[in-house]
Every structure is written in structure tokens, then in C-alpha cells.
Amino acid sequence: MATTPFDGDLIPVPEAPRARSAWTRLAAAFPFALMAFVSLVELALADRKYGLFTGGFGQSRAVDTPGEVALFLAGYVAAQSVIGLAGWALSLRLARRGPAWAPCFVFALLNGALFCGVLAAQYQLHSYFSDAVGFALLKQLGGGSLVDAILFGLSEIGLALIAVAALAAGAWIAWKLLARLLPPGLARLSAPRRSLCAAVFVVFLAAAFAIPRTGSDAAFGLNRTLAWQALTGTLDLASDVDRDGYGLFGIQHDTAPFDGSRHPLALDVPGNGMDEDGYGGDLALVPLAAPLGPQVFADNRPHVVIVVMESTRGDVLGKRVNGKPVAPNLEAIAAAGGAVAPAYSHVGFTTESLKSIFSGQIAPREGDPSLFRDLKASGYRIGVFSGQPEDFGGISETVGMRESADVYVDAELLRDKRAFDFAAQGSLLVDESHLLAAFDSTLGAEDWQARPHFAYFNFQSPHFPYHHDGVPARVVDTPIERGAIGADKAEHVQATYWNAVANADAWLGEVVQRIKAKGVWENTVLIVTGDHGEDLFEDGFLGHGHVINARQFGTILVANRPGLLPAAPLALADYRAILTAALRGASPPAPAAPPFLHIGPLDTPTAIGLAGPDGTLTSLRLDTGEACMVERGECAPHKTFTGADKARIDAVIARWGSERWRMHERAEER
Ligand SMILES: [Zn+2]
């Protein structure tokens, strides 16, 4: 500590001008350095998790052209500047009584530690729930039990509390150290100028309004970042004047800000001259298939066997791997009877697909007529032999499976025979051998001449991760291990998947042998189908229900009798009418409407699609407005299509509006 030599009193003053200015420069640069550091951390995390800049698994909208990168950085820097200035102003205020370095300390806590903490929490959640954080998923993860779900959540909360405690202790030690190390009497930093703050906020506001309206991948990238997401979300909420849930900021913004009945995904009321949802003008209803009422079969009554093979793609027929046929049994049945490929799933995931197969509807309600209820009322002996839990997602309840079945065997009942240790309901899987054993000791041991029988088999071998210990090497020697599955191993993943399909096909052969051995093959209607397809990294995706295309939404329908199936295209909700005609000995009905596809709930889908003749498939993303002529691999903003292509897109929108309108009308009837 120096003293001034020319006055008598010893007044302490800051050490030396050089040290003081060094401190001032360092302190002034600190907030910028901290913001730069946390920004780099966030962008690196986002790229690792979502492929923000590099693209990859699950990411079709990478920020990867110079224009997109420039737009992204403009928005990102604006948002980071806003929270940087706000954090700095708050730090100055909170630390106004402390030492000169206290604002920097508080800023490090707020914009450094807190920001990174929120980032960590967000990525931790996403690592469990992928992109869709929802309580329903949390419940599934807890094995369907609410208590398990909360316990599961608690262990995470416990970890978070420990982290917060460690951080607080670290902050306390850092404060003590700094108080000892830094010299007293340092100059205080001033607050940022108001004009600068105002200018930064105006720039951000302009970016938040304009960038989402460009439809650029930059807008989707920005939605992956914390400050942009929080700030635009708040602005969107604040600008939602008509309280319809959509404001002026965001990719899905309100184009009618003062009309609560018009917003994205608004119910389009037909014939009122108003385009409530902003797609396809006012809704003009298209004719839909009338839901099939309850059926009773009196005479003849052939046996019915339905085999559902999980995730089995439409291109399974004729598929060869290492020169070996994947599905020789399926091919033999198709050759003698008939096949339609692809047959489309409406939603591309298991539970809703099974409901459609048995109810004959896209979105059945609990208690609606179903094949199970029809055959029960017609005096059939009914057996369920499923490698998955049929209560999952309300399948059994919706189509009356458990209540109709005389024998009910599923993965829940065979829980102790599950193929994987993980016991959450959504991932229970039981090998086909156990299902056939259950069949042999029950329905299979009965006299089928005396009474008509209905057996439903659900084979789960082809489910992700495409291999379990019960699957022998059928078309490949070594299956890929679960942990090794990745886009860089696409070929091995595909071979493993086809090996699993081959396994399901082998068990299909066993089912056919059993029926033939009982001497009732000629009097049995057998159909084989998948519940949906599977993308195997063909476009970077693994799984189903993500993107509307024939691989994810297409499966097969094979029947053992010729003339039983109508011509393509058809979808799962058409099966019940086809079977009804077959049981009456009538010719197959032509589907009343082409296959309608959607991702997400029918009321609020993120994408919709329609299959046409000759393998055409049209899709429209309602969140981004991007339409695709899928079979041509051509995607563009929907408004840029003209002529026949525009008509295809309009047909998708009209069909969605009509399905949705009917659903609302039926809900009001109740
Ligand atoms: Zn499935």
C-alpha cells in the first residue's frame, strides 16, 4: 500500500496507476470473456448432441451453409448480448455494497455457473427423453408406475441438489480467496450506457421477429440454444394478444394476431370462408370411409389367424441377405395367396398401429367395434400370444382384446421370460418360442373342427435393438451389439435387422405348420402384417414415426388366399373391412379413401401425408410448411409447388382437416 508523500496524513490510495489500469482493463474484459466461453461451450454441446452444424442422426436441418451460419450467428450473438447486458446490470445492482470486484464475481455466478447449470439440466433431460420431454414418457420410463416415475425423477433431483451444494461451497471458497488476494481500493466499474442497452435490444427484437420468418435452418438451430429459446419464448407469450397460444415470435407464429380462432393448428371449420389454420384455404370436406359397425358372422366361419411382425418393412418380400432369403415362409404364403406392399401405417408407431389394425379406424375410441369384439360375438375361441405387453398404450382396452380372449398371453404375463433385463413396460420383449409354447398348451391343443378359432400372434424379434439371445444366426453370422449401433455401422445394423425379421419369419413357418397339422389350413384365413416399417440409417435416421416415407410408414400385408386383398394403396385401418369381407366370402372392398399418414396426435400433428396410386407419397410438415413429393425425393416450401404437385398437397391438407373435423364432431356426439 503506497501513501502520498506530500500530505501529512497517511491516506491509502490505489497502488500505482499502472496496476489500476491493468485491473480496470481486466475487469472490463471479464464479462466479454465469460460470455464468449459459455457460448462456445453451448455451441459445442449443441453440435455434439444435435449435430447443429455438422448434421447427422435425427438432424435434417443442420446450419451448414455460409448464409445459414451467418444468420445463425447474428441471432445467437444478439441473444447472448441481451442476456450478457442484463446479467451485468443485475450483477452491478446485487453487488453494489461489496468490493469493487464483486460485480464480476456475481456475473460469473449468474451468466457462468447458472447458465451452464441450466444447460446441463437441459441436456441431461434430453439424453433420457430425446427431444420430447413429457410426463407420459417419464411414466413409461418408470415401468408405467407413477411411483417408480417419481422415484426415478428423485434420484436425478438428488444429484442436482448435490451439484448445487458443491457449487455453493466452491463459490464461498472463491469469494474468501479473492478477498484475500485482490488489493482493496480498486476502482468500481460503471454500468453500461442505456443507449447501448436499448440498441442491443432493438437489434435482438428485429432478429427474433425476422429470422423465424425466413424458414432457414438457422431458425431451427437457434431454437436449440438457451438464451434465444428463453427470450423468444417470452416475447411470443407476451405478444399473444388474442390468447390462442401463438404470438408473433417463433417459427409457428400467429398470422392473425387479433383473432383467437385463427392460428397454427387451429381447427378449420369447413365452409365458413375462413382459413383458420393457415393451410389450404377454407376446409372443403372430402368423403371418408364410414366406420364399420359391429359385425356378427353366422355361417361358414373360417378360422382366423393374424400374425403381426414388429417393425417389418414393406420391402421384406424378395429380400436377400448374403444370398439367403429373409422371409421364405412369408414369400410362400404370398405366392399362394396375395400380398400388398407397402401397406401403410397411419402413425408409424406400435400402439396406434395395432389399434387401427383391429378397429378399422385411424383414431378409434375405447369401446368402438373391433375384430376382437366381432369374433367374440360370433362364437369364436380367441387366443392372444404376444411378445409385447398388449396393455401398453391402451391397445387391449381400446380394441377389447383382454375382455374377448379365452387365452391371453403377453409379455407382461411372461415378464420373467423377458429377453432384456430392463423391465419398463415399453421395453418388455418375449421371444417367439415362449409364445408358440403357450399356444401349444392352450388353443393349439383344442379341437378346431368343433368351433371356429381366432389366434393373434405378435412377434417382436425385429424390434430395436434387432437382436436378443434367442435369435439364431439366420442370414448373418454375428449381429451388431446394441452399444455399437450407429450411422457409421449402417450396413451391419441393416443385416442384423434382417436377421431378426428372418427369425420372425421362421416362427411364422412354425405357426403355419401347426395349423396344417391340425388339418384346418384350407379353412383358415391367415394374414401377416407389420405394425409399421423401420428406417435403418438410409437417410441418417434410425427408427420409425419420425419422417413420412415408405420405409418408416410402409409394411406388408400378406394373405394366404388369393383374391382376398384389394389393390394398393391400402392402410392398416382397411384390414378389418378386408377380413370382414373374407369371412363372408365376399370380394375385397376397395378402400374408400387413400392411406392418410400423420406424425403426432391427429389434432396437432407435426407432419401429415397421403399415399396415392403407383407408389406416390405426399407429405407436409405443418411446423415448417415444407412439403415433399416423397417418391421423387423432392422437398420445398409448400407454396412453391404448382399444378399437379400443388393438388397433391391440397389433398393432404383437405384429408387431414376432414379426419380432424369428424373426430371433433364425434367427440361432441358423446
Ligand atoms: Zn412397432
Across the range 12-36, mean pLDDT stands at: 74
**Ligand 1 center to 310 CA (angstroms):** 5
**Ligand 1 center to 564 CA (angstroms):** 25
**Ligand 1 center to 209 CA (angstroms):** 40
Q: Is the pLDDT of residue 604 over 50?
A: yes
The pLDDT of residue 539 is 80
Per-residue confidence band for 152, with pLDDT thresholds at 50, 70 and 90: low
The pLDDT of residue 128 is 46
Residue pLDDT, tens place only, 107-126: 999 999 999 988 888 776 65
Residue pLDDT, tens place only, 302-341: 999 999 999 999 999 999 999 999 999 999 999 999 999 9
Across the range 346-373, mean pLDDT stands at: 94
CA-to-CA separations, 141 to 145, 146, 201, 389, in angstroms, rounded = 9, 10, 42, 14
* Residue that wins the pLDDT comparison between 161 and 620: 620
Residue pLDDT, tens place only, 474-490: 999 999 988 788 788 89
**Ligand 1 center to 531 CA (angstroms):** 5
Our CA dihedral for 120, 126, 127, 130, rounded to 10 degrees, sits at -170
Our CA dihedral for 83, 85, 91, 94, rounded to 10 degrees, sits at -90
Beta pairing, strands 542-543 & 554-559? unpaired
Across the range 281-295, mean pLDDT stands at: 89
**Ligand 1 center to 275 CA (angstroms):** 36
* Residue that wins the pLDDT comparison between 147 and 606: 606
Classify residue 573 as exposed, middle or buried by CB count within 10 Å of its CB (0-12, 13-18, 19+): buried
Q: Is the pLDDT of residue 13 over 60?
A: no
Per-residue confidence band for 145, with pLDDT thresholds at 50, 70 and 90: low
pTM of the model: 0.76
Per-residue confidence band for 157, with pLDDT thresholds at 50, 70 and 90: confident
Beta strands in 256-302 (DSSP E): none
Across the range 230-254, mean pLDDT stands at: 87
Amino acid present at 168:
A
**Ligand 1 center to 405 CA (angstroms):** 22
Residue 459 contacts residue 468 (beta carbons within 8 Å): no
Residue 658 contacts residue 598 (beta carbons within 8 Å): no
Per-residue confidence band for 531, with pLDDT thresholds at 50, 70 and 90: very high
**Ligand 1 center to 366 CA (angstroms):** 20
Per-residue confidence band for 60, with pLDDT thresholds at 50, 70 and 90: low
Rounded (5°) CA angle 656-248-90: 135
Q: Is the pLDDT of residue 427 over 70?
A: no
Residue pLDDT, tens place only, 544-563: 888 899 999 999 999 999 99
**Ligand 1 center to 494 CA (angstroms):** 17
The pLDDT of residue 137 is 44
**Ligand 1 center to 369 CA (angstroms):** 23
**Ligand 1 center to 625 CA (angstroms):** 28
**Ligand 1 center to 381 CA (angstroms):** 26
Q: Is the pLDDT of residue 570 over 80?
A: yes
**Ligand 1 center to 505 CA (angstroms):** 16
Q: Is the pLDDT of residue 567 over 80?
A: yes
The pLDDT of residue 274 is 84
Q: Is the pLDDT of residue 135 over 50?
A: no
